[in-house]
Amino acid sequence: MKKKNENSRPRRFEKWVVKGSAALDRHLMRELEAGVGEKPFESERIVRREEHREEMRARAWLNERLIYIKLHERMRTKGERRIHAVYMLLATFAVILIIGALLYTVSQMPPSGSPDAPAFNTVAERYIENGLEETGAVNIVAGMILDYRAFDTLGESNVLFLAICSVLLLLRVKLDRKGGVVEGPPGSGEDDLRYEPQDDMILQNLADVLVPFILLLGLYIVFNGHLSPGGGFSGGAVMGAGLILYVNAHGYSGTRRFRLFSYGMFRWATFAALAFYAMSKCYSFFTGANHLKSIVGTGTAGSIFSAGLILPLNICVGFVVAFTMYGFYTLFRKGDF
């Protein structure tokens, strides 16, 4: 009975508070006893960290200098220098040409608000009048971006995918199970992670309550995308934010339980979502261009299983967005999933 009380939440919280304040008091006393040293009002840890940073900065500067010298040694011969000059001239010329062409195009556009502006054409009318019966989506915006302009949305999802790919290339640090660095750029193990407050009980309790609701809200927005405002992008962003909150509260061991959020899982989920999107759109383009009847009908407008391919495509986009947000967060913070 007594043991159970020892480990109850209020007791643990009390212990945490008391331990923290005692440690702070001891620290203060030690500093006071040490008296006025070389750096009187800075704790040891901060000094050490500053020194370390200084050292790392010096090393990085040296590296950069070496690369610079090496590059310039290569440009010593006359011919190479001439080629370089020509290249610079051509590049400047090309950039000026592009800027001029763009500015000329802008100056030829009709003034904003004029009735013959390209925005006021028959396409918008068609979307509003025939959108419901052609796509079956009550939410006209979802019908537009995932049916009429689904190819454009595939491009947007691919932009997210490419962004996370480049971040992976630049920032990925391979960690072993205990958090040590296996491979990665030099100095990548020395991150700020260890200075951050960890295992905060208040945040953990809040996350336990809030995260399920946040994930549920995100799923609702994704699954109801063709009926109400929302869809894959906004719902995925909500889900990603919930995952980030959970990681902040419980650490990476919490999300890595059941191997749900590993690198391989991320790779396969993103690939599967994008591939399914592309395949299903291929199918619908094929049937539409050849005037065939698609297997996936539009259904009755307003029910959850309606609007043809919009619901599965929303789910795909939602997965890609959620994984991208979570991946960005973890990569920028730690360098691995």
Partner 1 sequence: MMEWIRFGICAALMLTGLAAMCIAVIGVFRFRFVLNRMHAAGMMDTLGMLACSLGLFAAKGFSLESLKLLLAVAVLWCTSPISSHLIARLVLASENIKEYLEVRR
Q: Where along the sequence are the contacts to partner 1 (CB under 8 A)? A: 31, 41-43, 46, 195-197, 200, 202-203, 206, 209-210
CB of 41 or CB of 258, closer to partner 1: 41
Rank residues 49 and 149 by Cβ distance to partner 1 and give the closer one. 49
CA distances from 109 to 59, 102, 284 (A): 53, 11, 35
Q: What minimum distance in Å lies between the beta carbon of 204 and partner 1?
A: 10
Judged by beta carbon, residue 20 or residue 186, the one nearer partner 1 is 20
Min separation Cβ 169 and partner 1, Å: 30
Whose Cβ is closer to partner 1: residue 125's or residue 199's? 199
Q: Cβ of residue 29: shortest distance to partner 1, in angstroms?
A: 13
Residues 223/314, Cβ–Cβ less than 8 Å: yes
Rounded distance, CA 9 to CA 13, Å?
6
Written as six digits, the tokens of 32 are 């006071």
Give the nearest distance from C-beta 203 to partner 1 in angstroms.
Answer: 6
Q: How many CA atoms lie within 13 A of 183 on its CB side?
A: 2
Q: If DSSP codes are grouped into helix, strand and coil, which group holds residue 181?
A: strand
| DSSP secondary structure string for all residues of 269-285 | HHHHHHHHHHHHHHHHH
Q: Which is nearer to partner 1, 43 or 303 (CB)?
A: 43
State the minimum distance, in angstroms, from the CB of residue 9 to partner 1: 16
Q: How far apart are CA 326 and CA 329, in angstroms?
A: 5
